[in-house]
Amino acid sequence: VPGRPSLPREDALIERIRRRLPSSAGGVLRTGIGDDAAVLRPSPVNEWVITCDQFIEGVHFLDRMHPPDAVGYKALARATSDIAAMGARPRLFFLSIALPSRRTGLWLDKMLGGMARAAGEFGLILAGGDTARPGPRADAVALTVTVLGEVKSGAAVLRQAARPGDAIYVSGVLGAGELGLQILLSRLHKGPRWKALLQPHYYPQIELELGQQLANERIASAMMDLSDGLSTDLPRLCHASGVGAVIHQTALPTVSIPVQLQALGLEEINLALHGGEDYRLLFTVPSRVASRLRRKLGDARVFRIGQIQAGRGVELELPGGRRVQLAARGWDHFRGTVQREHPRGRRSTQGASVVE
Ligand SMILES: [Mg+2]
């Protein structure tokens, strides 16, 4: 436009992001995008819950394999799942993007479209962020998502208050995220045949309503979300609470593997114990509350899988009644060897599920 200086390219990029993602000020957000920093208006009766999560090409998703709208959806879902796990209500998010020039076209539009859908489902408003090119020695997309949630003062459910005798629950089927990943890595993801089984990996459904109910009605004594697999995450909760646990193998809600996928060599019990990225809630309930849980939760699908006990470590009770130590075989960034073809490391989910 003659007479009006054109905006620098970064401003144009920010404008594109702002057009795609809901970002209007109002409510808790007094001033959002367009100023130097966001101004928030805290509620006197609530506390803020804040979490930060990275989603990096080649580590968390793969070039040319993960659909761009799934990248956008999942980047926000993963971060917001941690807000659900505290029992908080999501309010605002910040997005920082390192974006190579090959990703500024249609890929960016589709990625933002997926993220916008997630923001709408979760009730999130974009409050700010940053954009940059990756450094000269890097050519990967990196998304850093910070999510703010609100919870009634004192109601947030932490990991540290599980007590011996508490019942242990998960909020849905385990292993569906890992099954989708394995289908993708086996290059069976093209075409419609396994589309439904890929959905939990591409677009994980997080447990916002259940998390808030468990917190606001003071049902859960401790809670976290399952991001790295039950065998890795349950010991984290137990460690934080200074307790041990026993899990009953026959009580685990396992994903069903179709017979046509038997050649992949996967076992349902191993996916349930060690598979990552399910984003179900793992929570404990004092026994006097557990007896009334079904009535309190109505239609919510929760499964009682075991019990907190005194001591250390997590035991697995096998179908015959024998107990063995459950080894942590879920995902660990700093233990796993990340390989180029595998977004979460070359980790086998086959073989023995337990060690004695
Ligand atoms: Mg978490």
Report CA(192)–ligand 1 centroid distance (Å).
32
The predicted pLDDT at position 42 comes to 87
Q: How far apart are CA 87 and CA 208, in angstroms?
A: 7
Report CA(51)–ligand 1 centroid distance (Å).
9
Report CA(333)–ligand 1 centroid distance (Å).
14
The predicted pLDDT at position 332 comes to 62
The predicted pLDDT at position 353 comes to 34
pTM above 0.85, yes or no: yes
Report CA(320)–ligand 1 centroid distance (Å).
33
**Mean pLDDT, 10 residues at a time, the chain of 356 residues:** 62 89 87 89 94 94 93 98 98 96 93 98 95 86 97 98 98 96 93 94 97 97 97 97 98 96 93 96 96 88 96 96 89 46 41 33
Report CA(226)–ligand 1 centroid distance (Å).
7
Report CA(76)–ligand 1 centroid distance (Å).
13
Report CA(285)–ligand 1 centroid distance (Å).
18
The predicted pLDDT at position 5 comes to 59
- In three-state form (DSSP H/G/I as H, E/B as E, the rest C), the secondary structure along the chain is CCCCCCCCHHHHHHHHHHHHCCCCCECCEEECECECCCEECCCCCEEEEEEEEEEEECCCECCCCCCHHHHHHHHHHHHHHHHHCCCCEEEEEEEEEECCHHHCCHHHHHHHHHHHHHHHHHCCEEEEEEEECCCCCCCCCEEEEEEEEEEECCCCCCCCCCCCCCEEEECCCECHHHHHHHHHHCCCCCCCCCHHHHHHHHCCCCCHHHHHHHHHCCCCCEEEECCCCHHHHHHHHHHHHCCEEEEEHHHCCECCCCHHHHHHCCCHHHHHHHCCCCCCEEEEECHHHHCCHHHHHCCCCCEEEEEEECCCCEEEECCCCCEEECCCCCCCCCCCCCCCCCCCCCCCCCCCCCCC
Q: What is the tens place of the pLDDT at every residue in 180-206?
A: 999 999 999 998 999 999 999 999 999
Report CA(180)–ligand 1 centroid distance (Å).
20
Length of the chain: 356
Report CA(227)–ligand 1 centroid distance (Å).
6
Report CA(350)–ligand 1 centroid distance (Å).
25
Q: How far apart are CA 250 and CA 317, in angstroms?
A: 8
Q: How far apart are CA 65 and CA 112, in angstroms?
A: 17
- CA distance to 190, 210, 292, 306, 332, per residue, from 8 (Å): 39, 44, 60, 57, 41
Report CA(224)–ligand 1 centroid distance (Å).
6
- ∠ Cα 52 54 57 (to 5°): 170
149 within 8 A of 212, measured Cβ to Cβ: no
Selection from 165, 170, 155, 169 nearest residue 288 by Cα: 165
Report CA(82)–ligand 1 centroid distance (Å).
5
Q: How far apart are CA 72 and CA 114, in angstroms?
A: 5
Q: What is the tens place of the pLDDT at every residue in 200-228?
A: 999 999 999 999 999 999 999 999 999 99
Which tokens sit at 349?
């989910």
Report CA(101)–ligand 1 centroid distance (Å).
32
The predicted pLDDT at position 26 comes to 85
Report CA(13)–ligand 1 centroid distance (Å).
31
Report CA(233)–ligand 1 centroid distance (Å).
9
